[in-house]
């Protein structure tokens, strides 16, 4: 057994994030989950906390490599990559980093909607490549203000999105497990019924098996020919095959997406579509928010190793 209590996991861990964790406790780093098994037995026995960053599945088999592991501190509000039930069965606590990323995700949602509605990417290209200067005008596009929008999930992020869209004079509808206290927004117990009532459908629910294909083929079809799907949650929350079919066939108007199945290698059918706005899963990707997320992750590691209550426990 070594005196190294912290395991840092994830190829996307930045030098700054790793240095902050290293400064707090002696640590060892692995880039992938598969690398965990390559650590020697003494090192694995000494690990008590794991700082986890990534979307690769983390299950019981990996947890069993570390007999003294007591906490998995996830970098991100979504923890669907971690088998929480397996962790709970082993007496391992899981934490996440909620709240600090709400603003960035909500901001990006509005930005993607505007970019889709006003064709901002093509507009920028036309200015740069001389198309506009040649006398060609960008086609008239779509007004966003005043339209109807349905929010799938009225948690912290969903509420921040709705608050922003209300400032655009949009007619706010929402679907959640129960009705919330809102400024007279319209609640729908059934997500398909909500889709029938709106033009924009914004997905803001957690990922994982419990929400897989929550926005189903039926829900997508219910949107109709003016419908636009906006997803900033997880690629698993929407039936992606049905969404692609609807986009190709024109049964809905379009989509604005920050998340995908199999990302970053997404379905190549998306590349041929002109009615989509695509982003590289950058919902929380600002310097300020990523630093705040790292600090929350570290605070959970410190709390556990010092025997104090966890800051943001999941289980």
234 in active site:
yes
Mean pLDDT, range 75-84, rounded to an integer? 93
pLDDT over 90 at 1, yes or no: no
Mean pLDDT, range 101-113, rounded to an integer? 97
Among 20, 281, 291, 295, the one annotated catalytic: 281
44 in active site:
no
Among 263, 269, 291, 295, the one annotated catalytic: 263
The pTM of the whole model exceeds 0.85 = yes
CB 82 within 8 A of CB 94: yes
Among 44, 159, 175, 234, the one annotated catalytic: 234
Report CA torsion sign: 297, 158, 214, 268.
Answer: negative
Share of the chain above pLDDT 90, in %: 98
253 in active site:
no
pLDDT band with cut points at 50, 70 and 90 for residue 161: very high
Mean pLDDT, range 76-96, rounded to an integer? 96
pLDDT over 80 at 182, yes or no: yes
């Amino acid at each position: 057994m070594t005196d190294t209590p912290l395991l840092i996991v994830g190829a996307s861990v930045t030098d700054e994030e790793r240095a902050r964790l290293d400064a707090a406790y002696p640590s060892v780093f692995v880039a992938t989950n598969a690398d965990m098994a390559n650590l020697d037995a003494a090192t694995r026995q000494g690990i008590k906390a794991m700082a986890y960053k990534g979307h690769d599945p983390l299950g019981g088999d990996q947890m069993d490599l570390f007999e003294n592991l007591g906490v998995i501190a996830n970098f991100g509000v979504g923890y669907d990559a971690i088998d929480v039930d397996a962790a709970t069965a082993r007496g391992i606590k899981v934490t996440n980093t909620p709240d600090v990323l709400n603003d960035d995700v909500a901001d990006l949602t509005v930005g993607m909607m505007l970019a889709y509605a006003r064709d901002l990417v093509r507009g920028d290209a036309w200015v740069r490549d001389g198309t506009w200067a040649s006398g060609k005008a960008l086609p008239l596009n779509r007004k966003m203000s005043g339209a109807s929008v349905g929010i799938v999930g009225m948690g912290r992020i969903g509420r921040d999105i709705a608050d922003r869209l209300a400032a655009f004079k949009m007619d706010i509808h929402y679907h959640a497990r129960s009705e919330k206290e809102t400024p007279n927004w319209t609640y729908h117990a059934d997500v398909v019924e909500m889709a029938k009532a709106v033009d924009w459908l914004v997905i803001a629910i957690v990922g994982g098996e419990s929400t897989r294909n929550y926005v189903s083929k039926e829900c997508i079809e219910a949107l109709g020919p003016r419908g636009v799907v906006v997803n900033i949650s997880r690629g698993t929350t929407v039936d992606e095959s049905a969404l692609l079919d609807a986009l190709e066939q024109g049964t809905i108007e379009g989509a604005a997406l920050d998340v995908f199945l199999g990302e970053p290698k997404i379905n190549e059918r998306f590349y041929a579509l002109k009615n989509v706005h695509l982003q590289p899963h950058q919902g929380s990707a600002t310097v300020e928010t990523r630093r705040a997320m790292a600090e929350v992750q570290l605070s959970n590691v410190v709390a556990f190793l010092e025997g104090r209550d966890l800051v943001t426990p999941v289980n």
